[in-house]
């Protein structure tokens, strides 16, 4: 449906130096967007930046982490579709035109993404493929957060983002949607940019990671032991074969020629 609104949720904490790009990339989109920013009580220039713009709605208060902020933002959102854009990420142009044709037939729409450096310059394209439950369960979180849009009716403020998870909350949400038999639509177009910079590395102790992976095993029936190892091996192979069949590796090589190009497309 052409008139549906996309609500973009942005959790933020101490990322004022990147947040301006996220805001601009949503504000400059063609199509119907609203932007909801929930900041965890930053002490940098985040609040000043938010006070001096009029497009996004926002709040800044202490929270229990990124998942808590996303659940709060979801409660403030009024759109028909939900996008998840972290404060250090940004959207590429004209994404509404790419996802809108799938509004009637899909519940989750996702595409490719680019990795950029701290200055927004291209490092590489990461191209994906159509949904596979095996790849999703045993390879990893197939859908990039900055290039995924979810029908609002599939999400609730109570349990969409698991607040006890720090490392795999995106994977947990994707598996939750898969278990709810959501209809997935893949578009072979880069929709968002994921920044690679020193402060975005998730430093989670090994014991915490093991606990979170066990949560995925229990909650979504992932096999462990020898069966799990076989399925993980098959998932990696299927992932590669699907990328070969849809030309993903070729697209990645073609865009590699633009490495170093500034992908911050808005403004003058």
Q: What is the pLDDT of residues 91-123, one digit of tens each?
A: 999 999 999 999 999 999 999 999 999 999 999
Structure tokens at 8: 């973009």
Domains of the chain, earliest start first: 6-258 (3.90.550.10)
pTM over 0.85: yes
Is residue 230's pLDDT more than 80?
Answer: yes
pLDDT tier for residue 5 given thresholds of 50, 70 and 90: very high
Residue 240 DSSP code = H
Beta-carbon contacts of 227 under 8 Å, excluding residues fewer than 6 positions away, are none
pLDDT at 200: 59
Rounded Cα distance, 212 and 219, in Å: 11
């Amino acid at each position: 449906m052409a008139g549906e609104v996309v609500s973009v949720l942005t959790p933020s904490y101490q990322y004022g130096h990147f947040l301006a790009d996220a805001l601009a990339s949503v504000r400059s989109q063609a199509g119907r967007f609203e932007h909801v920013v929930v900041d965890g009580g930053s002490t940098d220039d985040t609040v000043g930046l938010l006070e001096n713009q009029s497009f996004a709605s926002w709040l800044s208060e202490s929270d229990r982490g990124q998942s808590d902020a996303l659940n709060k933002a979801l409660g403030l959102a009024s759109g028909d579709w939900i996008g998840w854009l972290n404060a250090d990420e940004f959207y590429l142009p004209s994404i509404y035109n790419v996802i809108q044709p799938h509004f009637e037939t899909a519940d989750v729409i996702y595409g490719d993404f680019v990795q950029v450096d701290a200055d927004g310059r291209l490092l590489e394209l990461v191209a994906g493929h159509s949904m596979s439950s095996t790849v999703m369960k045993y390879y990893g979180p197939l859908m990039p957060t900055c290039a995924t849009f979810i029908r609002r009716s599939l999400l609730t403020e109570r349990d969409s983002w698991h607040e006890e998870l720090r490392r795999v909350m995106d994977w947990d949400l994707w598996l939750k949607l898969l278990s709810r038999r959501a209809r997935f639509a893949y578009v072979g177009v880069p929709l968002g940019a994921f920044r690679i910079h020193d402060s975005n590395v998730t430093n989670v102790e090994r014991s915490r990671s093991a606990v979170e992976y066990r949560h995925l095993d229990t909650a979504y029936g992932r096999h462990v032991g020898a069966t799990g190892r076989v399925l993980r091996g098959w998932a990696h192979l299927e992932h590669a074969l699907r990328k070969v069949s849809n030309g993903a590796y070729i697209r990645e090589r073609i865009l590699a020629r633009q490495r170093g190009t500034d992908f911050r497309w808005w403004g003058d």
